[in-house]
Amino acid sequence: MIFTPTESAALAIPTSASSLKALAAGLHARMREGGGSIVSMDFVATVAWPIYDWMGVAKAALESVSRYLARDLGPSGVRVNLVSAGPLGTVAARGIPGFEQLASLWPRMAPLGWDVEDPAPVASAICFLLSDYARGITGEIVHVDGGFHAVGAPGGGLGVAPTSE
């Protein structure tokens, strides 16, 4: 990040964080009478990722914006949540330099495995959050990444013997 131009922040933060606030403000008038749900996409912002730099900072801002929106819109019955998805092979993602290298970690490290070409698990989680089944959930980050966010290093699980020292 030290070598990433500061001007990158001027694009990353409005694209990722400010846009959610603008969307919520635009939808609020329509949603406040009957409630509703707003779901945005996230990428784990609790750690520093290779190649992510200012976009990682922007995702941390997005997470904060979603909590404030959950607070402000909750009394109107509007829920705001994020889905922190594992990497998906979208056109936009493939335009990120180093995406393939980063995405290659998921199939090896995610306890449930991960298919970069299968958006269905992410879509299912979004449908759940938009539905009345999630009517008591707001201000949350739901990780749909095969469990990658929960492990610190590859290995473990059945069939791997613990080491003794």
- More confident position, 46 or 110: 110
Inter-axis angle of helices 53-73 and 19-31, nearest 10 = 20
User: Of 5-9, 34-38, 72-76, 161-165, which one has max mean pLDDT?
Assistant: 72-76
Distance, in Å, from the CA atom of 122 to the CA atom of 57, rounded to the nearest integer, reads 22
Tokens at 106, concatenated = 């998921």
Average pLDDT over residues 94-106: 85
User: pTM for the complete prediction?
Assistant: 0.86
Tokens at 19, concatenated = 């846009």
One-letter identity of residue 116? V
- Spell out the residues 6+ positions from residue 109 whose beta carbon is closer than 8 angstroms to its own: 148, 151, 153, 154
Catalytic residues: 52, 59
Mean of all residue pLDDT scores within the chain: 87
Residue 160: per-residue pLDDT: 52
Question: Is residue 156 over pLDDT 90?
Answer: no
